[in-house]
Amino acid sequence: MIDEYIAGFGSSALGEFAESMPWELTLGAVGIVERLLGGLRDGYAIADGVAVHCTSTIEGGAVVKGPAIVGPGCFIAAGAYVRGGCWLEANCILGPGAELKSSFVFTGSKLAHFNFVGDSLLGSGVNLEAGSIIANYRNELVRPMISFFHKGTRLETGVEKFGALVGDRTRIGANAVVAPGAILAPAMVVKRLSLIDQAVGEG
């Protein structure tokens, strides 16, 4: 499934998880990132479970909690917050006030500023404008287990937290909300102030 949306998934460090469903990866993010830490090559400084490539910049005032891997050419601005097992492939940007939790972000993707992305996979070249979020928990439901429709099929994730699988080159406009349990096609454009919700209701 993931290869349909993220072209470089199979050839990345995550390729060994090619048969996993997206929500299985995010649920196991801490363990997966810890495992990947052990296989990193030269060029990384590693401390307290956080690996940062020598070509990347993390400004003072940013918080990056391990386990985490920040690949080559990345930039994490002051005020950004990374937690819960995160992996940034290369040339990614997390702007001021951006929060990333239990997520995998592929080459060239950007969270501009004041974004939240939880329990998600972002393909290459994805851009989130200011204030847009990818929510990961259905606070409005009595039973928050995430299920949703995709291509006419009902998908049961078996988890209470999952944000989205976002295809390569997708653009999410300012202050838009992607509700928990979403799959966005490559090169999709989400308009500013809009809501994407693919959920199955409680009936």
pLDDT tens, position by position, 75-102: 999 999 999 999 999 999 999 999 999 9
> For residues 188 and 200, is the Cβ–Cβ distance under 8 A?
no
Report the predicted TM-score, pTM, of the whole model to 2 decimal places: 0.97
- Report percent pLDDT > 70 for the chain: 99
The 10s digit of each residue's pLDDT in 134-162 is 999 999 888 889 999 888 899 999 999 99
Q: What is the pLDDT of residue 76?
A: 98
Please give the mean pLDDT across all residues of the chain. 96
List residues with catalytic annotation: 113
Give the pLDDT mean for 177-196: 98
Residue 33, pLDDT above cutoff 70: yes
Can you give 108-153 as a three-state secondary structure string? CCEECCCCEEECCEECCCCEECCCCEECCECCCCCCCCCEEEECCE
Residue 182, pLDDT above cutoff 90: yes
- The number of residues in the chain equals 203
Q: What is the pLDDT of residue 143?
A: 84
Confidence of residue 201 (pLDDT cuts 50, 70, 90): low
Q: What is the pLDDT of residue 63?
A: 98
Q: What is the pLDDT of residue 200?
A: 78
Q: What is the pLDDT of residue 91?
A: 98
Give the pLDDT mean for 3-19: 96
Non-local (6+) Cβ contacts of 1 within 8 A are 21, 22, 165
- Which two structure tokens, joined as six digits, stand for 77? 């601005």
CATH class of 2-196: mainly beta
**Helix (H, G, I), strand (E, B), or coil: what is residue 40?**
coil
Confidence of residue 41 (pLDDT cuts 50, 70, 90): confident
- Of the ranges 47-56, 156-165, 192-201, which one carries the lowest mean pLDDT score? 192-201
Q: What is the pLDDT of residue 203?
A: 44
